[in-house]
Amino acid sequence: MAGRVVLALSSSMPEPMLREYLRQVSGIPEVIVILRGFIGGARTVAPTGVWVERLRRKDVGCRDCGHFAVEIVVDPLAYRMLGLEQVPAVAFIPGVQDLRHCDAEVLRTSAVAYGAVSVNAALRRLRAEGVAIPATVIQKFRGV
């Protein structure tokens, strides 16, 4: 894998926007969605788990229907390492397959795209700013 696309989201964002982002990145293994923290704090993960499960449903009212195929993690350390200041945010981390910073790997990115734009538009903006995002990654977002 040439790197990871990091999509930073928050439970404070409107649900239709969140669901649209998950639709755009569903099934693209180079993408990881990160949340800064747990809903209600780290004392309980259940509210966040319930929220994520509901958000991943393609049909929000159907528990047995399909889900968006998206990797979602809660990772405040990644937020700090990447210098993420607001959401939504898109970054590209070259050469990274997983977020193993817990093993002392430092995550770095040269630029972050902020704002409510498509992931495709954010990646094109980053590429225009000189971020070396492989064409094979960008192509996965065309027509999404």
Mean pLDDT, consecutive 10-residue segments, the chain of 144 residues? 89 96 96 93 87 92 89 91 93 79 65 95 94 91 76
Kindly state whether residue 94 falls inside one of the protein's structural domains: yes
**Any domain includes 119:** yes
Residue 116 in domain: yes
Distance from C-alpha of 85 to C-alpha of 79, rounded to nearest angstrom: 8
Is residue 144, in this structure, part of any structural domain at all?
no
CATH number at residue 103: 3.40.30.10
Contact 123, 5 (CB under 8 A): yes
For residue 104, is it within any domain? yes
Regarding pTM above 0.85, the answer is: yes
State the pLDDT at residue 5: 94
Confirm whether 42 is domain-assigned.
yes
Helix (H, G, I), strand (E, B) or coil at 103: helix
| Residue 129 is assigned to a structural domain of this protein | yes
Counting the structural domains of the chain, the total is 1
What pLDDT was estimated at residue 64?
Answer: 84
Is there a contact between 140 and 123 (Cβ–Cβ < 8 Å)? no
pLDDT at 108: 75
Expressed as residue numbers, the domain containing 71 is: 3-139
**Distance from C-alpha of 61 to C-alpha of 91, rounded to nearest angstrom:** 31
* Residue 47 belongs to a domain: yes
